[in-house]
């Protein structure tokens, strides 16, 4: 383990600390891609409300994902064109599966 103190910034506060090997090897956060609609929980696709090539506005309903007997309506986070639909009705999906891709 390296005994060198390193600078860590959290909410405008700077700290001097030693990093663990696990911390130094962590995968950095790349941020969400607004054009990729992903499953936030595992479930079943019950309805797809758009077609490939269709123009959608921010807030338009894209699909319905059923999980634990609850129907979750998924809305578009941006305005754009439906580039590709990766799922079909009645398909089971896992958390973080890519469902729909939009293009600006």
Residue 89 lies inside a defined structural domain of this protein: yes
Residue 75, domain CATH: 2.40.50.100
Residue 12 in tokens: 């405008």
Residue 69 in tokens: 């007997």
88 phi and psi angles, rounded to 5 deg: -125, 160
Residue 27 lies inside a defined structural domain of this protein: no
Question: For the chain, what is the domain count?
Answer: 1
Residue 88 lies inside a defined structural domain of this protein: yes
Q: Which domain holds residue 95?
A: 36-103
Per-residue confidence of the chain (104 residues) as pLDDT tens digits? 557 888 888 888 899 998 888 888 888 766 667 789 999 999 999 999 999 999 999 999 999 999 999 999 999 999 999 999 999 999 999 999 999 999 98
Q: Is 23 helix (H, G, I), strand (E, B) or coil?
A: helix
Residue 75 in tokens: 């809305």
d(Cα 100, Cα 47) in Å, to the nearest integer?
13
Give the angle 42-56-65 at the CA atoms, nearest 5°. 15
């Amino acid at each position: 383990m390296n005994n060198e103190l390193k600078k860590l910034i959290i909410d405008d506060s700077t700290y001097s600390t030693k990093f663990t090997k696990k911390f130094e090897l962590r995968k950095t956060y790349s941020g969400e891609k607004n054009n990729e609609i992903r499953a936030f929980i595992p479930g079943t696709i019950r309805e797809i409300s758009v077609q490939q090539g269709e123009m959608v506005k921010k807030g338009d309903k894209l699909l319905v994902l059923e999980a634990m007997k609850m129907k979750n309506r998924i809305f578009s986070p941006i305005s754009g064109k439906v580039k590709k639909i990766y799922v079909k009705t009645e398909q089971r999906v896992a958390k973080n599966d890519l469902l729909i891709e939009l293009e600006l």
